[in-house]
Structure 1
Amino acid sequence: MMTGLVKQLKNTVKALAVVGLAALSLATAQAQTILRVTAIPDESPTELARKFAPLGKYLEKELGVKVEWTPVTDYAAAVEAVVNKKIDLAWFGGFTFVQANARSGGKIVPLVQREEDEKFRSVFITEAGSKITKLEDLKGHTLSFGSASSTSGHLMPRSFLLAAKINPETDLKRISFSGAHDATVAAVAGGKVDAGALNISVWEKLVSEKKVDPKEIRVFYTTPPYYDYNWSVHAEMPAALQEKLKQAFLKLNDSTPEGKEILALQRATRFVPTKADNYAGIRAAAENAGLLK
């Protein structure tokens, strides 16, 4: 009699546990009523907010949740916010993705990247009248990178300098960090440094918007291509939501006014799937330069 009662109690506990897990799963899904989004501050805060506004509205419509833009102070803050699950979706550079993935023990998932990010490049710029025409000419001169954690504004430019047997710390007169790509251009244009390194996408945008005159500031070196930016999430985001997010990006195209505006602001032809393995070269470059901690 007692054995049967114990067995019945065990079955009841198991049934309650199953119901409890189902309820918890439902509560978790319902709790995701806000998608918190950020981006590395590789441009000014106002420009980042302007670029994201129509994308945020689009994601709200596609996901059925409120999308909340949360700016961060620097690249490190973006990494920590995603690692600690304070942010759900982040626009990372290749290096910040690698940093976040390392900090989280491999728990950051890159969902999509722009087609352009499969073959991204950096440019080195200087004043039009400068005698600097190649990387080797930088010896003895001053140079500005972007953020220390920037892929296209620091890590990869540094990597190509090292490949050209130029040690930024010993061969250059001084290096500095502007904090953002547009700030690097301003530093060169203002005569604060002899040269600067930044991502090619921001450079081309500034030229097209006539915010910089290529007759006054010129590109003297363009790097070989490498993988760069992506939209990433924490691995603990429900798989269904990850897939819904991915599909929302993949279906964007320029056949609609909405899609055309979003892609233009994101400086993208289209978004394509990506994976962590694509950034193995970035990780190797960071380790080789002693920048991955």
Structure 2
Amino acid sequence: MKLIKLATAGIAAAMLSGAALAANLPDGSKANPLRVLMVPADTGTNDITADYAPVFNGITEHYGIHFDLRAGASYAAVVEGMCNDQADIAWYGAVTFGQANDKCGVDLLAVDVKKGDASYYSGIFVAKDSGINSISDLKGKSMAFGSPNSTSSFNFPVAMLIAGDVDPVKDLKKVIVAGSHSASLAALAEGKVDAAAASYNSFGKAVKKGAIDPAKFKPLAKSQPIPNPPLAMNKGLTTEQKATLRQAFSEIHTKIDPAKIRGYGGKKVDRYDTQFDVKKIFDALGKLSAVTKQVKADMIGKAGQR
């Protein structure tokens, strides 16, 4: 009998402890908003959160969920923020989504959709008069990349190099890890490198801003379709919270001015797909198996050489 009482007391204590933990999680109220972290991206404004504020403000107005939007200092910081329970929602690239899932587990919330397409592309760009017409022509040349944690300005371009029989460490004359898509493209435009890695979206944005002259530069290689950067949820959110968030993101394009719907990098999109098959993200990441931690470390080491 004593053992039964002790066991019962233990179960009750555990239930109370769980309830206390749940009570400490943000509930999305004005006083306790859900914390949103975003990976750095080349956006339409100087403040990444400004591009997304209308969407989250719309969800607050129509669904009563409040948010605290912040930009992460780095890709890695957003992964750590989620896994240290400092974020409830995060906007990742495919690679950082995979990193966060491996580290602590995350739930997919949504991906953005434009004209029925939920994918984007990574590219390698060169000057039209460079004489570089294939990936193999990059041997002995210099190349700029974005952050090592970036899906489309580092990981996929490196995978394309390797698939094209170009060793990014041994075959490239010089490597610059510029830190962002725009910085990578700027290095190309300024003549610091022979090639640059970036997303097609970032190349198009650089053209619109006048940072890249399309008469002088061209795509050399284009990746397979990559699932659009996903929104992820902390696994600690309640089932009810997750369901409400999925409903809100699936419907918000019908609730606010459609022109205010934004995707990764601040681009205008049509809507959010909350039923997207997460397997497609993992399948895309499977194409990056050749881009190992050692390859990244060696490239960073090469970039540090003078």
1:8-64 CA distance string (max 9 Å, x none): x99x97998799589748845774421111111132682413312212312322442
Gaps of 5+ in 2: 297-306
Is the radius of gyration larger for structure 1 or structure 2? 1
1:279 aligns with 2:277: no
Counterparts of 1:270 and 1:31 in 2: how far apart (Å)? 25
CA contact (8 A) 2:122 2:157 kept: yes
Residue matched to 1:127: 127
How far has the Cα of 1:214 moved from its partner? 0.8
Aligned residues: 285
| Local SS of the residue matching 2:48 | helix
The match for 1:115 among 101, 113, 116 is 113
Match of 1:67 in 2: 67
Alignment correspondent of 2:35: 36
Q: CA deviation at 1:281?
A: 2.5
Instruction: Name the residue aligned to 1:156.
Output: 156
* Distance in 2 of aligned mates of 1:75 and 1:282: 19
Partner AA of 2:95 in structure 1? F
How much does 1:178 deviate? 1.3
Whole-Å separation in 1 of the counterparts to 2:15 and 2:81: 33
Residue 197 and residue 236 in structure 1: after superposition, are their counterparts in 2 closer, same or farther (change >3 A)? same
Question: SS where residue 280 of structure 1 aligns?
Answer: helix
Could you say what the CA RMSD is over the residues aligned between the two structures, in angstroms?
Answer: 3.2
Change (3 A) 1:244 1:211: farther
Determine helix, strand or coil for the equivalent of 1:204. Answer: helix
Asked whether 1:291 is paired with 2:288, we answer no
Q: Which residue of 2 aligns with 1:103?
A: 103
Could you tell me how far 1:205 is from its partner in structure 2?
Answer: 2.7
Bigger fraction of residues in helix? 1
Matched, 1:58 2:38: no
Name the counterpart of 1:267: 268
SS state of the match for residue 80, structure 1? Answer: helix
- TM-score, structure 1 as length reference: 0.84
What aligned pairs does 1:181-192 form with structure 2 within 5 A after superposition?
A: 181-192=181-192
- Shift in CA distance, 213/286, structure 1 to aligned 2, threshold 3 Å: same
Q: Partner letter of residue 287 of structure 2?
A: A
C-alpha change, 1:159 and 1:88, in structure 2 (3 Å) is: same
CA 1:194–1:14 in 2, change beyond 3 Å: closer, same or farther?
A: closer
What's the TM-score once normalised by structure 2's chain length? 0.80
| Residues 240, 127 of structure 1: alpha-carbon distance in 2 compared, 3 angstrom cutoff | same
Q: CA deviation at 1:185?
A: 1.4
Distance 2:122 2:26 in 1: 43
- The whole-number CA distance in structure 2 between the counterparts of 1:58 and 1:219 is 38
Q: Tell whether the 8 Å contact from 2:258 to 2:270 is kept in structure 1 after alignment.
A: no
**Contact 1:39 1:71 (8 Å CA) reproduced:** yes
Letter in 2 for 1:142: S
Percent of pairs with identical residues: 25
Alpha-carbon deviations, 1:111-169, whole Å to 9, x = none? 11123574321121122322122212111111111110011111111111111111111
8 Å Cα contact 1:201/1:267 also seen in 2: no
2:79, 2:96 within 8 Å by CA — same for their partners in 1? yes
